[in-house]
Structure 1
């Protein structure tokens, strides 16, 4: 076996290049536009390289979704493990989530996951990867809600994630700003966060007999 030539593309590099091309194609034109010939042209690799690394289109879609999931899981797990969240306030929490979710420009590679989530609704083989990604979102949401003193943080985490995902989809479809996402999060969090306890009402005093 001969050693790889200096500067030659390694198998892992070729796979990443192909997956990146798939995400860009999906983001621009949807899942239906993914063909081996188009991938090869977009990635700058031979047609044989595409079929060598990915035997079926399902393999391509699954690996593309998994790459996004891996990156998102790593990023959100690091945020959830940050000890500074223990001291976070309501406004800071909303701003953090708005920054994380709203700070992403909707280029083709970031639109692609929305397409892949819809595709997971059609292809149950993609659902485990999609579920893994949403689990990472849920962990961060639960961590923030717990830090804010919200009861049933684990149960409410999915609702918060659904709100963020819905606002992201709205932002993608309408071009609205990330500020709308922060406002929605503050509205939800204010309703769920504990309020200051009201002062106890003193018991009624003895009632004086009539005429005394």
Structure 2
């Protein structure tokens, strides 16, 4: 996590703190006092920017996926004109997954997705997150010339997310590229 600084706007520091706390100690640990202390903002700043706890959770999840999708889209675009094959793309995905640092902020979305299953007010944010991942996956698959990209995108996203969750839970790296190749060759 980027350490909060005075130069970072309070709202952004709050959202960074939310992800850090969720990833470290779970959704139940998100309290206004804890977030204010972590973000180095006043308690009033929390309620000024986020009328409810769910607003804070939703915006943290959406902010994470926006940043993540932007990062992955830029990566995909940097390879668009390199003539990648499906095998190359699967290998690149494996490299990205392997190099992913498992910080508290990277664990937070898994916690928020589970929380969305319990709290319908977060489901729209979860849907937007998965829609963003699906759209990115369709873009990459279409650039690779994969037929029926839209038909396999959500399955591919779910497979990668499941393998990542398995990695987090077991500590054992997963072979994402093999799974991708199997799915796309079916």
Aligned pair count?
182
1:170-189 to 2 correspondences below 5 Å: 170-178=166-174, 180-189=175-184
1:132-211 to 2 correspondences below 5 Å: 132-178=128-174, 180-189=175-184, 191-192=185-186
- Inter-partner Cα distance in structure 2 for 1:79 and 1:106: 19
Match of 2:40 in 1: 44
Looking at secondary structure, tell me which structure has more helix per residue. 2
Structure 1 residue aligned with 2:53, among 53, 57, 60?
57
Structure 1 residue runs of 4 or more that deviate by more than 6 Å after TM superposition: none
Query: Where do 5+ consecutive residues of structure 1 fail to align?
Result: 1-7, 193-212
Q: TM-score, normalised by structure 1?
A: 0.76
Deviation at 1:129, TM superposition (A): 2.2
Deviation at 1:91, TM superposition (A): 2.2
Match of 1:107 in 2: 103
Larger radius of gyration: 1
Match of 1:72 in 2: 68
Aligned-residue CA RMSD in angstroms? Answer: 2.3
Distance 1:19 1:72, change over 3 A: same
- Inter-partner Cα distance in structure 1 for 2:21 and 2:9: 18
- Inter-partner Cα distance in structure 2 for 1:188 and 1:31: 33
- Inter-partner Cα distance in structure 1 for 2:64 and 2:117: 17
Q: TM-score, normalised by structure 2?
A: 0.85
Of stretches 61-70 and 139-148 in structure 1, the one that deviates more from structure 2 is 139-148
Q: Deviations over 1:109-151 (max 9, x none)?
A: 1100111111112222222222222222222322333344432
1:29 aligns with 2:34: no
